Structure 1
Amino acid sequence: MNSLKNKVAVIFAASGQVAGAVAHAFAQHGAKVYVTARRQAAAEALAEEIVAGGGLAKAGEADAMDEVQIDGYLKKVVAENGRLDMVFNGIGTYYKDAGSGTPSTMATFEQFMHPLQKICGSQFLTSRAAAKYMIESGTPGTLLLFNASMARTKTPNMAGFAAACAAIEGLTRVMAAEFGKHGIKSICLCAGALLETRKIQEMITDFSVQAGIPREQMAQQYSRHDLLATGPTLQQLGETAAFLVSDNGTPFNSHIVDFDCGKINLL
């Protein structure tokens, strides 16, 4: 459990369940974890949980959409530690803001652009700033990006969100090509629906009402393409992230790593 010992990690948008799972896993594997959120209280709550579990964590306030705050926070982390080994950004968006579930003929341009600006834009801001400080400190680190499998499924009424997810995959490959000469690897963790998360459960409830079908029937739609009788969990996501940023994960540079237990409909 010491594969990340002496490593320094920064987690942006750490108030969400996905980022929280990654932060816990990094700490459990020995990393010193800096967790940030727009609200200091949310970051502190996560840091306290990690410390209570025997890990090393510090909380900070930073908006993952604010380039100045991102840069300032990473600069402080590197000044304190002399290095930056990995960065993960768990930013998400409210599905209605992204026009998810809305036909493309009815979705507004603002809804289409929202996930591109927020999700992909934020990944760009945090990753490129992290790469700059990794290069300056001489740290062969990892940029671990995050998106959803919507990038490679044929799902209707998801134009903006699907476009943003696909853009993150392209961004991952570009950054791997740019920063590999500095020993920096870039990987995208591409998750299927994590049914234990509040966000997915809220979507199931809302979509069942919109479709006029029982909630249980809508919930089955999220697993009908599964190859296994089980789906991915938050704990497994954290462990997968910890492996990818470790030295053992080096061969995965530039890769899009599917995290879904296998799907028939995934390209």
Structure 2
Amino acid sequence: MPSNQLAPYQKELLEQAEAVGALKFGEFVLKSGRISPYFFNAGLMSTGAILNTIANAYASTIVSTFSSSPRPIDVLFGPAYKGISLAACTALVLASSHAQSLGFAYDRKEVKDHGEGGRLVGVPVSGQRVVILDDVMTAGTAVRGAVGMVRAEGGKVVGVVQLLDREEVGGGKDVDVRVDGEKVRSTVDDVEEFLGEGARVVSVLKMRDLMLYLEERGKTEDLEKMREYRARYGRRD
């Protein structure tokens, strides 16, 4: 798929997200204080049809990213609570549409002290190559916590797949993309370093895909605001 063209699953995902109000364009104040020209709330994507689209999008991203690895991945991990449905549905789609049968696991918010007990539910992760599914990383705190749980159980995290990469550098509303000539680090940079050599953070969608989506629809005013925001806060690849 050319870099200047949306994949069918990306286009379908964006259309459905906008239709239910999960993706909005305008002016939105973020926790960082930045005024963003768009807002994405994956929690509003909560119907069967949209979940099917999301799972297919995750599955396609996983296949294109990890299938060429010398050793395939074994387990999808979905951090509680939003990640649970993502891991389960994506595992189903990988089996039904891509002939890849992976296990899935997730964590409990509170450790269970009866029955089978323990913190993790699903297939064992010990000795397995694990990919974590996330929606949107802000500071990466939740992902680091998930990595810690997998490692504590003997698993190896080889990647993270997030639904949307905002492609921003860290910091607050007044941060410049460079300080003393050096590039300001992004959350993705920090998480990849935390994961270690060979592990990857990839995404179903990037901010640039949202811009392409607007361009294809001729929404020039929203597109210009996105360009200005990216020029100020965007990560430099």
TM-score, structure 2 length as denominator? 0.43
TM-score, structure 1 length as denominator? 0.39
**Higher-strand-fraction structure:** 2
**Higher-helix-fraction structure:** 1
